[in-house]
């Protein structure tokens, strides 16, 4: 029997809470920001390109650190064919389910909305069909499957946009003010998730929030290594989230 | 033949030494073929263009080498092979290949029993009670063939007629410590000796922690019997938790500060005997399928 509590308990020893907001940490994406700046250069750029299209909240469940179990699972659950994939999908779905069951309300409160009407994922712009993340959100996770809708379609030239955030990377089905929760697996630069948010808002979404399973960080950049060391000192707990970093829920 | 050439290509890639083994493991797994990875590596180094009629790596001769290892009782299993142990496949520190001497059973319940090389008589007694108790209940006792607790765990499992597996820190043709050579042979005959190193690899400072990672990955859980702060056993407890595996700490360990701290972490249990481990083992088997909350 695969239970959410049983499986996600095992993750608690290697999940790492995202960086606490504060000096040196980007208040948008929880990456490293240059001293004196409220957000990182990437998020400043994204914000000037997309304006109000950017997501209203970006909430990483955990850091995903290179060379460790979680980052490895987040890569292999979709990229490494073999019997391990089903196990990783089940485990990661349990992680997502438990986090949302405990903290989706925190995300909604942060966005000042009562709840999210629709849950969606950003389709791959590299042409992957039936993305396993979609399977997890649309089928495996009980808290999301009844609200799941395929809203986004990648633009034909999406791959050519490279790594830049863009309003035209995706197009979204029309919306009438519904609040949308976007689930993504890994946040590196945030270009995909932010492009998805911009498309959703352009199509009429109310509030858009992004919950991301793993926040990738480049340890060799700036003070990142020190900040990660500090983050590791806080033992992971399921009843804490990036928006309310104390025990609750 | 296809599988033999795949294995040979993996060996060739690892011998090239231009990428780390974990990197290569990820890459081969992602691409789905060691031969494809090898080919593109050769192309990138320009050899493909220079010798495009001749294979730059003689896979046939490596395949012959693998076959010779096999005749020597050392079976090579690579990450691309279906019979690579699933439990181990699930951890990020899975090695690209294993050498097996003995019989691998895929679906036995495996528990690692580890501890210090310099045990007290009580430590030995605890190791015997745990290993014997598990082995009598049909659980495979996994350990590292080191002196002290490891030797007691293997020995007791064999003595009660149970199954035991040694995950060793050298190649299969070596024994460390030397006085366990005979024990290693006996485990190979009745159970399994497993190594992630080339057959002639000597022991090294780096090889034992690597071995601990594989022992954790191969097992459903790790029991720490008696271990100081600076010990391979404590390291294995840390690695097991980082793999998402359960760690059982003998109550007698609670005299150590490190063990009391570990006991507060998720997925750890303080135990008094084999039953405390055995009763929860089924719940530790990796699962897939429909999720329910609890």
* Letter string b/e over residues B79-114, b meaning 16 or more CB atoms within 10 A of that residue's CB: bbeeebbbbbbbbbbbbbbbbbbbebeeeebbbbbb
- Res B99 pLDDT > 90: yes
Rounded to the nearest angstrom, the minimum Cα separation between A143 and chain B is: 10
pLDDT tens, residue by residue, B100-125: 999 999 999 999 999 999 999 999 99
pLDDT tens, residue by residue, A21-34: 889 999 999 999 99
Judge whether A151 and A176 are in contact, CB under 8 Å: no
Contact A11 B283 (CB under 8 A): no
Contact B283 A6 (CB under 8 A): yes
Contact B291 A142 (CB under 8 A): yes
- Residue A94 contacts B where some CB pair is shorter than 8 Å: yes
Query: What pLDDT is recorded for position B56?
Result: 67
pLDDT tens, residue by residue, A76-90: 999 988 899 999 999
Confidence tier at A165 by pLDDT (50, 70, 90)? confident
- Res A162 pLDDT > 80: no
Contact B291 A88 (CB under 8 A): no
- Res A161 pLDDT > 50: yes
B245 vs A contacts (CB less than 8 Å): 10
- Residue A48 contacts B where some CB pair is shorter than 8 Å: no
A76 vs B contacts (CB less than 8 Å): 26, 29
- Residue B245 contacts A where some CB pair is shorter than 8 Å: yes
- Residue B257 contacts A where some CB pair is shorter than 8 Å: no
A72 vs B contacts (CB less than 8 Å): 26, 92
- Residue A156 contacts B where some CB pair is shorter than 8 Å: no
Contact A80 B29 (CB under 8 A): yes
Contact B267 A13 (CB under 8 A): yes
Rounded to the nearest angstrom, the minimum Cα separation between B62 and chain A is: 25
Report the predicted TM-score, pTM, of the whole model to 2 decimal places.
0.94
Which whole number is the average pLDDT over A175-181? 98
Helix (H) or strand (E) holding A96: helix A84-110
Contact A2 B288 (CB under 8 A): yes
Confidence tier at B41 by pLDDT (50, 70, 90)? confident
Rounded to the nearest angstrom, the minimum Cα separation between B128 and chain A is: 28
pLDDT tens, residue by residue, A93-138: 999 999 999 999 999 999 999 999 999 999 887 767 779 999 999 9
Confidence tier at B45 by pLDDT (50, 70, 90)? low
- Res B54 pLDDT > 50: no
- Residue A101 contacts B where some CB pair is shorter than 8 Å: yes
Residue B69 has phi, psi (to 5 degrees) of -60, -40
pLDDT tens, residue by residue, B148-180: 999 999 999 999 999 999 999 999 999 999 999
- Residue B29 contacts A where some CB pair is shorter than 8 Å: yes
- Please state the separation of Cα A186 from the chain's center in Å: 6
Which whole number is the average pLDDT over A183-212? 96
A4 vs B contacts (CB less than 8 Å): 291-294
Average pLDDT of chain B is 93
Query: What pLDDT is recorded for position A130?
Result: 78
Rounded to the nearest angstrom, the minimum Cα separation between A49 and chain B is: 34
Three-state DSSP string of chain B: CHHHHHHHHHHHHHHHCCCCHHHHHHHHHHHCCHHHHHHHHHHHCCHHHHCCCCCCCCHHHHHHHHHHHHHCCCEEEECCCCCCCHHHHCCCCCCCEEEEEECCCCCCCEEEEECCCCCCHHHHHHHHHHHHHHHHCCCEEEECCCCCHHHHHHHHHHHCCCCEEEEECCCCCCCCCHHHHHHHHHHHHHCEEEECCCCCCCCCCCHHHHHHHHHHHHCCEEEECCCCCCCHHHHHHHHHHHCCCEEEEEHHHHHCHHHHHHHCCCCEEEECCHHHHHCCHHHHCCCCCCEECC
Rounded to the nearest angstrom, the minimum Cα separation between B106 and chain A is: 13
A7 vs B contacts (CB less than 8 Å): 287, 291
- Residue A56 contacts B where some CB pair is shorter than 8 Å: no
Which whole number is the average pLDDT over A161-171? 83
Which range has the worst mean pLDDT, A71-75, A141-145, B57-61?
B57-61
Rounded to the nearest angstrom, the minimum Cα separation between A28 and chain B is: 29
User: By CA distance, what is A74's nearest residue in B?
Assistant: B92
Task: Tell me what ipTM this predicted complex has.
Answer: 0.93
Query: What pLDDT is recorded for position B42?
Result: 83
Query: What pLDDT is recorded for position A167?
Result: 85
Query: What pLDDT is recorded for position A199?
Result: 97
- Res B224 pLDDT > 50: yes
Distance separating the N- and C-terminal Cα atoms of chain A: 26
Contact A69 B92 (CB under 8 A): yes
- Res B52 pLDDT > 70: no
Confidence tier at B140 by pLDDT (50, 70, 90)? very high
Query: What pLDDT is recorded for position B43?
Result: 78
């Amino acid at each position: 029997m695969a239970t959410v509590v049983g499986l996600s308990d095992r993750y608690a020893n290697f999940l790492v809470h995202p960086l606490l907001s504060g000096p040196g940490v980007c208040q948008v994406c929880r990456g490293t920001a240059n001293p004196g700046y409220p957000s990182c250069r990437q998020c400043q750029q994204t914000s000037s390109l997309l304006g109000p299209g950017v997501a209203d909240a970006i909430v990483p469940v955990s850091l995903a650190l290179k060379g460790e179990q979680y980052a490895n699972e987040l890569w292999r659950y979709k990229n490494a064919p073999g019997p391990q994939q089903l196990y990783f999908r089940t485990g990661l779905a349990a992680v997502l389910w438990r986090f949302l069951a405990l903290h989706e309300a925190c995300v909604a409160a942060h966005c000042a909305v009562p709840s999210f009407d629709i849950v969606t994922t950003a389709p791959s712009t590299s042409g992957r069909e039936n993305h396993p993340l979609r399977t997890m959100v649309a089928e495996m996770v009980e808290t999301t499957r009844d609200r799941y809708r395929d809203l986004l379609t990648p633009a034909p030239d999406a791959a050519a946009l490279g790594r830049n955030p863009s309003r035209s990377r995706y197009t979204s089905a029309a919306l009438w003010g519904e609040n949308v929760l976007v689930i993504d697996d890994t946040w590196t630069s945030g270009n995909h998730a932010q492009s998805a948010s911009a498309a959703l808002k352009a199509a009429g979404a109310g509030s858009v929030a992004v919950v991301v399973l793993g926040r990738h960080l480049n340890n060799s950049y700036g003070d990142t290594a020190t900040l990660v060391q500090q983050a590791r000192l806080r033992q992971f707990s399921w009843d804490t989230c990036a928006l309310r970093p104390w025990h609750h829920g | 033949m296809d599988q033999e050439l795949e294995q040979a290509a993996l060996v060739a890639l690892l011998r090239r030494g231009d990428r780390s083994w974990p990197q290569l493991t990820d890459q081969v797994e992602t691409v789905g073929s060691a031969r494809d990875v090898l080919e593109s590596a050769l192309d990138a180094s320009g050899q493909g263009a220079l010798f495009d009629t001749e294979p730059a790596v003689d896979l046939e001769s490596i395949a012959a080498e693998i076959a010779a290892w096999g005749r020597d009782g050392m079976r090579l299993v690579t990450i691309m092979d279906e019979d690579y142990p699933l439990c181990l496949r699930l951890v990020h520190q899975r090695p690209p290949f294993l050498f097996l001497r003995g019989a691998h059973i895929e679906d036995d319940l495996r528990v690692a029993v580890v501890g210090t090389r310099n045990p007290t008589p009580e430590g030995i007694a605890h190791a015997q009670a745990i290993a014997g108790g598990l082995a009598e209940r049909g659980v495979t006792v996994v350990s590292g063939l080191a002196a002290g607790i490891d030797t007691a765990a293997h020995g007791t499992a064999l003595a009660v007629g149970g199954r035991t597996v040694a995950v060793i820190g050298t190649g299969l043709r070596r024994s460390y410590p030397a006085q366990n050579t005979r024990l290693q042979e006996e485990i190979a005959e009745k159970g399994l000796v497993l190594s992630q190193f080339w057959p002639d690899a000597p022991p090294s400072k780096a090889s034992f922690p690597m071995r601990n990672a594989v022992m954790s990955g191969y097992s459903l859980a790790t029991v720490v019997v008696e271990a100081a702060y600076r010990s391979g056993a404590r390291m294995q407890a840390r690695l097991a938790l980082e793999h998402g595996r359960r760690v059982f700490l003998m109550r007698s360990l609670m005299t150590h500060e490190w063990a009391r701290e570990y006991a507060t972490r998720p997925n750890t249990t303080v135990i008094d005997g084999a039953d405390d481990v055995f009763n929860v083992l089924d719940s530790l088997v990796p699962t897939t399928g429909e999720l329910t909350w609890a």
